[in-house]
Amino acid sequence: MEITEILGYFGALIIGVVLGLIGGGGSILTVPVLVYLLAINPVTATAYSLFVVGTSSLVGAVNNIKKKLVDFKTAIVFAVPAFIAVYLTRKFLVPAIPQHLFSIGDFELTKNIAIMLFFAVIMVLASVSMILEKKQEAKASGKVQFNYPLIIIEGVVVGTLTGIVGAGGGFLIIPALVLLAKLPMKKAVATSLLIIAIKSLIGFIGDVQNQEIDWIFLLIFTGLSILGIFLGVYLNRFIDGGKLKKAFGWFVLLMGIYIIWKEINP
């Protein structure tokens, strides 16, 4: 086993630890770990990431359900347009993207490079969300209210983004739950995990129908991530997750910039 492969499996553990410590964001590391450390094709990596993100989020969601923090009606209303969009994206849109997009001089924009560049942009946006995040509690208005047209649009946008890059999109979902469904912040964070789990795992079904899946590798990688979640939850007793989230945001920002540079200058 090569050193990069060992680091890749260690990266799976770290993804879970970050998720356990700060409650989200760690899944955005999954694709870079799979592509750069384990040399997996970006299209396959985004598929595997959906499974890892979906399963990890499901573990967190079950924990939140036990604590009665999940609003099921809100989760269903948001998840339906999102999982339809992510499934259609993985089943039809991603396979339809041509391998060669265009060339500028010596630079050729391929499907793989385009996916990684788009993913890097999402990383930068997510990092800014983590760095600038303010601890603000939404005003509880007694009962949840839905802005259905905006929820459907937001669900389609987040589902499409998730389908292309294989990341959960929590940094887009949580503000939407607060603004469009009037959920308190704590419930919004808890409910977002169930939404991410549903749409990611259903999106992955589109890949099972299109690609050969290395189930042994995927289950080992996912198992290490879940183990990391429990380790992160334990470490959360001793580490301030809020401060860590901001520091992690800076790390994700630097990684996003690095990926853009690496893909443009292969």
Cα torsion 224, 20, 165, 252 to 10°: value is -110
pLDDT at 215: 95
- Domain boundaries, given as residue ranges, for the chain: 3-264
Rounded Cα distance, 185 and 177, in Å: 8
pLDDT at 135: 52
- pTM for this prediction: 0.85
- For the chain, the distance separating the N- and C-terminal CA atoms, rounded to the nearest angstrom, is 25
* Residues whose CB is less than 8 angstroms from the CB of residue 64 and which lie 6 or more positions away in sequence, other chains included: 70, 190, 191, 193, 194
170-192 per-position pLDDT tens digit: 777 888 888 888 888 888 888 88
52 Ramachandran zone, left/alpha/beta (phi>0; psi -120 to 50): alpha
194-253 per-position pLDDT tens digit: 998 899 899 899 888 888 899 999 999 999 999 998 898 888 788 876 778 888 889 999
Q: Does 136 have pLDDT greater than 50? A: no
Closest CA to 69 of 188, 179, 159, 217: 188
9-43 per-position pLDDT tens digit: 999 999 888 888 876 667 788 999 999 999 999 99
